[in-house]
Amino acid sequence: MQTSFRRPSILPGFWPAFTYTVIYLSLIVLIPLSAIFFKTATSSWDHIWTVVMSPQVVASYRLSFGASIAAGLISVAVGFLVAWVLVRYEFPGKALVDALVDLPFALPTAVAGIALTSLYAENGWIGQYLAPLGIKVAFTPLGVIVALTFIGLPFVIRSVQPVLADADQELEEAASSLGATRWQVFTRVIFPLIRPALLTGFALAFARALGEYGSVIFIAGNLPMKTEITPLLIVTKLEQYDYAGATAIAAVLLITSFILLLGINVLQRRTRKFMEAA
């Protein structure tokens, strides 16, 4: 086994490429993020602890993580279906639908938030039909999930689509001819193939949702303890000149999402390795 830092490779230029990666990541990611921790460190532990553990802030973690995970899961389910339709079927206007998928990327999220709020408010186009059923969307946690699903959807579709397109349909045909039912073909052949892509899509959608601010503040209602998302509390703290408090909450958000994303990455690697071994 190789013990040195650099494994031999037939590709030249490891050091320039590696140096570039480290410098780039430092400038764009590490330095700004470490500033958060330095700023947090300007405050006493007592202050930090009371801020990040105050009931209002804890309630916001619950909403932010809960809604982001929910939105990620919805995106996975619905996104997979959309990707499936886009890859496996031919229909008129397919290119148009395909282009529509990316729209949530391009739209300023505030615009999305305002549009969704207008639609889902009790007197909105959709909200007026939901209200008699007792379903309130705008200004409830449900509204937060709707907004986060909107912005998260393209991540799953775009992660799954290429994998699905590459998947060899002969595998499915072989499975069928060997007597597998349609359900078995899906669970045993298709799903294992796209699982890593689904995980990537989920991770991206989840991470995006967690940091999302623009669209959510319009639809959330922003009531303390009920519908305040964590990024909003960070902004509110900043507006009260509590920089240390704001960065402390940001640090909690960062560390937690880093652990979650790391977990998803590890899971992904495992499935990939498992696939390669099989």
Partner 1 sequence: MKHTLRIVWALTAAAVMFAANPSSIKLLNVSYDPTRELYQDINAAFAKQWKAKTGADVTISQSHGGSGKQARAVIDGLQADIVTLALSYDIDSIAERSRALPANWQSRLPNNSTPYTSTIVFLVRKGNPKHIKDWEDLVKPGISVITPNPKSSGGARWAYLAAWGYALKKNNNDEAKAQDFVTRLYKNVPVLDSGARGSTTTFAQRGIGDVLLSWENEAYLALNELGKDKVEVVVPTISILAEPPVAVVDKYANKHGNGEVAKAYLEFLYTEEGQEIGAKNYYRPRLEKVAAKYADRFPKLQLFTIDELFGGWQKAQKKHFDDGGVFDKIYTPGK
Which residues make up the interface to partner 1 (CB under 8 A)? Answer: 51, 54-56, 117-118, 121-124, 139, 217, 221-225, 232, 235-242, 245
Distance of CA 187 to the CA centre of its chain: 24
Those residues whose C-beta lies under 8 Å from the C-beta of residue 165, and which sit 6 or more positions away, are 87
Please identify, using beta-carbon distances, which residue of 46 and 239 lies nearer to partner 1: 239
Please identify, using beta-carbon distances, which residue of 22 and 223 lies nearer to partner 1: 223
Q: How many residues does the chain have?
A: 278
Least Å distance, CB 60 to partner 1, is 12
Residue 81: CB atoms within 10 A of its CB come to: 13
Least Å distance, CB 225 to partner 1, is 5
Least Å distance, CB 110 to partner 1, is 11
d(CA 151, CA 212): 9
For residue 27 the two structure tokens come to 């400038």
Please identify, using beta-carbon distances, which residue of 145 and 190 lies nearer to partner 1: 145
Least Å distance, CB 219 to partner 1, is 9
Those residues whose C-beta lies under 8 Å from the C-beta of residue 123, and which sit 6 or more positions away, are none
Please identify, using beta-carbon distances, which residue of 51 and 210 lies nearer to partner 1: 51
Residue 49: CB atoms within 10 A of its CB come to: 12
